[in-house]
Structure 1
Amino acid sequence: MNTYQFHDESSLAETAENLGKKALALGLIPSFVVRYFPDSREYYIPNETQSEPLTPEEAYMRLRKIVEQSGKA
């Protein structure tokens, strides 16, 4: 997988969002939702039983793991 570069929370949030779009396009996740607030974002990666809000850091780590494990990075 490519090395993702981020320098602050905003670029981390963009990287997490791009990973979510990639995982969605590859069919690795059923849906991906980003809620935008004036000072932050919340990410939702629903599964069959629950969907909890994730911080940009949590979303990045979870999505990176999903994409890497698929072998389609």
Structure 2
Amino acid sequence: DALNAIVLCVEQHTLALVVQQVDGIEAYASQAIQNSQGLFPAHLAPFVEGYLREAGSIALDARAIARAPRLQTVLTGH
């Protein structure tokens, strides 16, 4: 099974997220993002910006991912 990488450039960092599947990249208006509260497990919720109901897709919060405390340890070495 092949893995896919999604590259994010956030602030001064470039990150690659390795995922099993990418269904596509979509442009959307920020108003289209629905609240996703209660749809995802608590440990994932901080990294989800919302849900795109019409597309049936999740909108990730790239800044929240880049600022995750666990990732900061890797990036800064502290």
TM-score by length of 1: 0.29
Greater C-alpha radius of gyration: 2
| Larger helix share, 1 or 2 | 1
**RCO (CA 8 Å, sep 6+): is it higher in 1 or 2?**
1
